Amino acid sequence: MSKKEIKTLVIVSVVPIIVIVLPLLVYYAVIFPHGIFIDRDMVKETYALDLTDDVKLVSYRDESFLCVIDCNLIVEVDDADSFLKNNIKADIEKNCQYDYKYSVGTTGTVYVRTEPYEDKFRVHLQYVD
């Protein structure tokens, strides 16, 4: 193969990767906040949680806009009542619209809803400020 053919082959194979893959990576990392990679330490601090090894982080969505905070976290646990009692480091109280709620910091509130999921439970935590 000549140098011209090799150069053409490289351009034909690399340019589509850059044109297609790079925008997708930017979309997933910046625009679409679905939380492929969930930072356990950030979640522990934001939601005032003690994340033990038996707590599986299912999803995290940050739908905050400007100064309005709206984050949603879903965790999967064996026993929802035990999780609420042992893993939340704040005073939790019953709520009418959701199952429970608790305060985080001075202005943040976390609304908690539990639901059975297969043989476990999913706990939905919505942090609003």
Q: Write the DSSP assignment of the chain as a string of letters.
A: --HHHHHHHHHHHHHHHHHHHHHHHHIIIII----SS--HHHHHHHHTB---TTPEEEEEEE--BTTB-EEEEEEEES-HHHHHHHTB-S-EEE-SSSSEEEEETTTEEEEEEEEEETTEEEEEEEEE-
From 72, 64, 76, select the one nearest 118 (Cα to Cα).
76
Do 50 and 28 share a structural domain? no
Do 119 and 85 share a structural domain? yes
Q: What is the model's pLDDT at position 115?
A: 94
Count up the domains in the chain and report the number. 2
Tens of pLDDT, residue by residue over 7-60, are 888 888 888 788 888 777 776 666 555 555 678 888 888 899 988 888 999 988
Do 100 and 45 share a structural domain? yes
76 pLDDT higher than 90: yes
Tens of pLDDT, residue by residue over 77-108, are 999 999 999 999 999 998 877 889 999 877 88
Which pTM was predicted? 0.70
73 pLDDT higher than 70: yes
Do 50 and 25 share a structural domain? no
**What are the CA-CA distances from residue 109 to residues 8, 63, 112 (Å)?**
58, 15, 10
Do 109 and 51 share a structural domain? yes
Do 81 and 27 share a structural domain? no
Do 28 and 72 share a structural domain? no
Do 46 and 26 share a structural domain? no
Do 81 and 47 share a structural domain? yes
Size (the chain), residues: 129
Do 79 and 44 share a structural domain? yes
Do 63 and 108 share a structural domain? yes
Q: What is the model's pLDDT at position 14?
A: 81
Range of 47's domain?
A: 40-128
Instruction: Give 30: exposed, middle or buried? Use CB within 10 Å, 0-12, 13-18, 19+.
Output: exposed
Q: What is the model's pLDDT at position 67?
A: 75
Q: CA-CA distance, 36 to 26, in Å (whole number)? A: 13
Do 113 and 63 share a structural domain? yes
